[in-house]
Amino acid sequence: MPALTPAEKRLRNTHCKLRDALERLVKGLPTHPDLQKRSYRLTVATLAREARVGRNAIYANHRSIIDELRRASDRKVVPEKLAAWEDKLAQQRALIQVLQIEERRMVTENAVLLKRILDAETEVERQKRHNARLIAERDRAVKPVPLTRGPKS
């Protein structure tokens, strides 16, 4: 096997970097800090950033990687990410159900409390009327009554 020239070594190393980067992107496990912080699309720019190579190198010397990138992009959904997303969705749905049950319980409790408030207000009004009657009766009872003189004998 003949020795590789420096240019051939560079091409092979770049090709390996690109293939590894594409595999990480497809799995949804990028190592580049910018790609870890946000969602990304499978593009040449994203691949170049993950592989830490220039885009021109991809366009000029690695057309096969671009074809693989397009095929991976056409699949659109990354299986590992999809499973994680479905798990999150299931958790969110379960949480929604729990919150709906809790909301119904709180609505019922609020209705009971409102009923108690209305009953208490009705009782307060009844007690006020009763108190007013008692005060009026007391006032009549303590009111001085003029004494009339009886017949002289």
Convert the pLDDT of each residue in 22-71 to its tens digit: 999 988 889 999 888 788 888 999 999 999 999 999 999 999 999 999 98
Are both 103 and 72 inside the same structural domain?
Answer: no
Are both 56 and 102 inside the same structural domain?
Answer: no
Question: If we measure between CA atoms, which residue out of 105, 104, 102 comes closest to residue 94?
Answer: 102
Are both 41 and 55 inside the same structural domain?
Answer: yes
Convert the pLDDT of each residue in 110-125 to its tens digit: 999 999 999 999 999 9
- Whether 147 is covered by a domain: the verdict is no
Q: Determine the Cα–Cα distance for residues 104 and 111; give it in Å rounded to an integer.
A: 11
The pLDDT score that the predictor gives to residue 80 is 57
Spell 89-115 as b/e; 16+ CB within 10 A means b: eeeeeeeeeeeeeeeeeeeeeeeeeee
Are both 72 and 104 inside the same structural domain?
Answer: no
pLDDT at 81 over 70: no
> Can you give the residue range of the structural domain that contains 42?
6-76
Please state the three-class secondary structure of 13-62 as a single string: HHHHHHHHHHHHHHHCCCCCHHHHCCCCCCCHHHHHHHHCCCHHHHHHHC
The pLDDT score that the predictor gives to residue 77 is 53
- Whether 153 is covered by a domain: the verdict is no
Sequence length of the chain is: 153
pLDDT at 72 over 90: no
Q: Which of 41, 76, 111 is the last residue of a domain?
A: 76
139: left (phi over 0), alpha (psi -120 to 50) or beta: alpha
The pLDDT score that the predictor gives to residue 35 is 87
Q: Which of 47, 76, 105 is the last residue of a domain?
A: 76
- Whether 105 is covered by a domain: the verdict is yes
